[in-house]
Amino acid sequence: MAAVAESRSRPRTRPQHVLRGPHARREARVGLLFVAPCFLLFLAFRFGPGIAGLVLGFTDYTIGDSTHFTGLDNFQRMVHDPLFWSSLRVTVVYSVIAVPFTIAASLGLALLTRRAFRGSRLFRSVFFLPVVTSLILASTVFIWIFSTKGPWSSLMGLLGLPEQSWLTDSALVLPALALVGIWSRCGYGMLILLARLQDVPRELEEAALMDGAGPFQRFRHIVAPQLKPAFFFLAVIETTNSFQIFDAIYVMTGGGPANASYSLVYQLYDAGFKYSDLGYASALGCVLFVMTVVVALVQRMVLGREK
């Protein structure tokens, strides 16, 4: 008994799963062998093109022509390109609208479908459906929804707001696109938060209930802290996703009206595939990459300080 008590009180100073010796090394090699195909594919189709893109950003690469190293020319050109600043602003504004609302909508849906009730699985499936629906297809429908004669305009009319197409208004086009983004992404966020919510101990909430805590207090002091890692994950994923917004814009507005929805990835696409200016397109890709990494690091500092 005393030995058991001693072993329980002894602090664990060494990790439990560190294996040593020839057997362990053989096992590690086998593990690496299993990982190797995936790792090689990653190198060939993700890491390799990524590095190539980075290098091309410092050249004047155009298809069928000789390529020259141009140093920082593409980046200097970017600094003086008003379209770059405009597309950067569009990307940031879109993200500022889309990311928090997507997480909020995901949280709302997760809390609604958290408890098992009759039809809860059906609701979860329905809420998840937009994630697996083609955004191109959905965007075609949203063009009609947001048109002057569409239901969204009629709804605005009922609320006493002007009946107009949100896609033709420079101030409203990004909120309209963000709505589409939120619609298409909140099902995924719901799933992540739902999984995390299942791990929140019921006893804690019940104890708080006994102590007279209201629903908001229970959520704020018990549920929300438990969801922090999931919020961090969602913030990174959704920010990355919204920085890369392209398909809905391409189908719904073509970057208009008057470049009011012309995003950074749209500019990258046009530079690369419309104007064959692949060096500049690669430089834009580098900036997008740096932006994504910086924002992810900031999010990690703010949201992910605790493990």
128 close to 190: Cβ distance less than 8 angstroms? yes
189 close to 238: Cβ distance less than 8 angstroms? yes
The least CB distance from residue 172 to other proteins, in Å, is: 11
> How far is residue 163's CA from residue 65's CA, in Å, rounded to a whole number?
51
Residue 252 binding other proteins, by CB under 8 A: yes
The least CB distance from residue 173 to other proteins, in Å, is: 8
Window contacting other proteins (CB under 8 A); options: 8-16, 125-133, 140-148, 155-163: 140-148
The least CB distance from residue 269 to other proteins, in Å, is: 8
The least CB distance from residue 143 to other proteins, in Å, is: 5
| Residue 109 in tokens | 């849906």
Residue 278 binding other proteins, by CB under 8 A: yes
In terms of Cα–Cα distance, which of 177, 171, 148, 170 is closest to 258?
A: 170
Residue 37 binding other proteins, by CB under 8 A: no
Residue 168 binding other proteins, by CB under 8 A: yes
240 close to 155: Cβ distance less than 8 angstroms? no
> How far is residue 189's CA from residue 198's CA, in Å, rounded to a whole number?
14
157, 220, 254, 293: residue in contact with other proteins (rule CB under 8 A): 254
Residue 253 binding other proteins, by CB under 8 A: yes
Residue 259 binding other proteins, by CB under 8 A: yes
| Residue 67 in tokens | 């390529």
170 close to 86: Cβ distance less than 8 angstroms? no
55, 122, 126, 258: residue in contact with other proteins (rule CB under 8 A): 258
Q: How many CB atoms lie within 10 A of CB 126?
A: 13
The least CB distance from residue 286 to other proteins, in Å, is: 18
| Residue with Cβ nearer other proteins (133 or 147) | 147
The least CB distance from residue 49 to other proteins, in Å, is: 11
Return left, alpha or beta for 160; rule: phi > 0 is left, psi -120 to 50 is alpha, else beta: left
139 close to 180: Cβ distance less than 8 angstroms? yes
Return residues touching other proteins (CB under 8 A).
40, 44, 62-65, 82-83, 140, 143-144, 147-148, 165, 167-168, 170, 173, 250, 252-259, 262, 270, 272-276, 278
